[in-house]
């Protein structure tokens, strides 16, 4: 497994206590670097004074300029940041069908036991994750008997039926027992497993984890991965108050809206300001007019000025 760690940029930041480290990992390419930076900023902005964060970044092609912006996040709070170069060729045969938004970097988390051979436990965050408090309780969750811990996915019922599972979890936030994963030789078996099940992997790495570790996943409190659609505004605002980690499934625009003016501290002021203006417009439009799949997935739910209508998909297809 080819991976290199840039030790020159992973020295302890001034003022950090190197004991009691909370390891937090991200995976990104150039396209998602600014969103990752914002997510990291939320971790630093809401951490407890004695939380000592060590960020590990699986680098799928982040520019040196953007790496420097990310390193400058230490101005928010002392932390350690280590970039790990990923050999993308290792993942070239991994399936990416059924999606237009994901890149191969979504699979990088699956090889974390190899990428971090010196680390026994790590929290993994997607780039559209907002931390709203200390991660200490999450990190200290007892998982010695489990390979990983996850929170339930918003569409768990649908995916359980699709994959014939009893439970289904969201992979945007993971608490990984890397020591146990190495003991079970997970990464050695991974490539054959993906090849054998490629036709089932509509949710890619998330499906891999749910299928491979069926009945072996420790379920976490939903507050550690509140994976709700931001467009469901009333429900979102009602339940978000108790969430410690929020996963913005409804789009990056919700993530940006809810974290203004924090994005001004990321080094991406101009980029996020432009995105913020677009996000405000999109949010206003979404409150006037919304179209989404209804809960039963056989209907379209259309909301106009607060009034909701349903259109049967099959009936519509016949009419057309």
Which tokens hold the place of 251? 């789009």
CB 227 within 8 A of CB 170: yes
Q: With cut-offs at 50, 70 and 90, classify the pLDDT of residue 278.
A: confident
Query: How confident is the model over 60-70, as a mean pLDDT?
Result: 95
Rounded CA-CA distance 109/99 in Å is 18
In the prediction, which pLDDT does 62 show?
95
- Residues 96-131 pLDDT 10s: 555 555 666 778 889 999 999 999 999 999 999 999
Q: With cut-offs at 50, 70 and 90, classify the pLDDT of residue 279.
A: confident
* Pairing status of strand 121-125 against strand 21-28: parallel
Q: Which is higher by pLDDT, 259 or 91? A: 259
Which tokens hold the place of 241? 């108050």
Q: With cut-offs at 50, 70 and 90, classify the pLDDT of residue 295.
A: low
Domains identified in the chain and CATH numbers: 3-224 (3.90.550.10)
- Helix/strand/coil (H/E/C) assignment for every residue in 239-283: HHHHCCEEECCCCHHHHHHCCCCHHHHCCCHHHHHHHHHHHHHHH
Scan for tokens 């991660």, then name that residue: 135
Which letter does DSSP use for residue 183 in this model? H
Given a cut of 80, is residue 5 above it in pLDDT?
Answer: no
CB 27 within 8 A of CB 62: no
Instruction: Point out which residues pair with 56 in neighbouring strands.
Output: 25, 82
Given a cut of 60, is residue 319 above it in pLDDT?
Answer: no
- Locate the DSSP E strands across the chain: 3-5, 21-28, 52-59, 80-86, 121-125, 129-131, 148-152, 169-177, 217-219, 245-247, 289-293, 299-304, 307-312
Mean pLDDT of the chain: 83
Q: With cut-offs at 50, 70 and 90, classify the pLDDT of residue 9.
A: very low
Query: How confident is the model over 54-73, as a mean pLDDT?
Result: 96
Angle at 52 between CA 48 and CA 58, to 5 degrees: 120
Tally of helices (H runs) and strands (E runs) in the chain? 12, 13
Given a cut of 80, is residue 207 above it in pLDDT?
Answer: yes
Given a cut of 60, is residue 155 above it in pLDDT?
Answer: yes
Angle formed by the axes of helices 64-71 and 33-46, to 10°?
10
Q: With cut-offs at 50, 70 and 90, classify the pLDDT of residue 41.
A: very high
Query: How confident is the model over 192-220, as a mean pLDDT?
Result: 89
Rounded CA-CA distance 250/159 in Å is 18
Given a cut of 90, is residue 214 above it in pLDDT?
Answer: yes
In the prediction, which pLDDT does 283 show?
76
């Amino acid at each position: 497994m080819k991976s290199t760690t840039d030790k020159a940029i992973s020295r302890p930041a001034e003022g950090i206590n190197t004991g009691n480290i909370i390891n937090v990992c991200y995976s990104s390419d150039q396209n998602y670097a600014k969103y990752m930076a914002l997510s990291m900023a939320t971790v630093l902005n809401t951490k407890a004074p004695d939380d000592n964060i060590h960020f590990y970044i699986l680098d799928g092609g982040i520019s040196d300029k953007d790496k420097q912006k990310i390193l400058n996040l230490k101005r928010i709070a002392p932390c350690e940041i280590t970039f790990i170069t990923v050999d993308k060729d290792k993942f070239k045969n991994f399936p990416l069908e059924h999606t237009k938004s994901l890149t191969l970097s979504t699979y990088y988390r699956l090889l974390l036991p190899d990428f971090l051979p010196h680390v026994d436990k790590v929290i993994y965050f997607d780039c559209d994750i907002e931390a709203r408090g200390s991660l200490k309780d999450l990190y200290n969750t007892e998982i010695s008997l489990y390979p990983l811990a996850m929170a339930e996915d918003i569409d768990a019922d649908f995916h359980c039926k699709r994959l014939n599972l009893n439970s289904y979890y969201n992979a945007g936030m993971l608490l990984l027992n890397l020591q146990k994963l190495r003991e079970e030789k997970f990464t050695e078996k991974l490539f054959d497993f993906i090849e054998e099940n490629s036709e089932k992997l509509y949710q890619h790495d998330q499906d891999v984890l749910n299928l491979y570790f069926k009945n072996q996943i420790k379920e976490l409190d939903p507050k550690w991965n509140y994976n709700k659609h931001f467009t469901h505004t009333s429900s979102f605002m009602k339940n978000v108050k108790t969430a410690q980690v929020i996963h913005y499934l409804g789009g990056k625009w919700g993530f940006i809206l809810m974290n203004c003016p924090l994005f001004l501290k990321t080094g991406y002021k101009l980029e996020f300001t432009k995105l913020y203006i677009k996000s405000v417009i999109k949010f206003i439009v979404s409150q006037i007019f919304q179209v989404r799949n209804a809960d039963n997935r056989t209907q379209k739910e259309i909301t106009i000025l607060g009034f909701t209508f349903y259109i049967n998909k099959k009936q519509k297809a016949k009419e057309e």
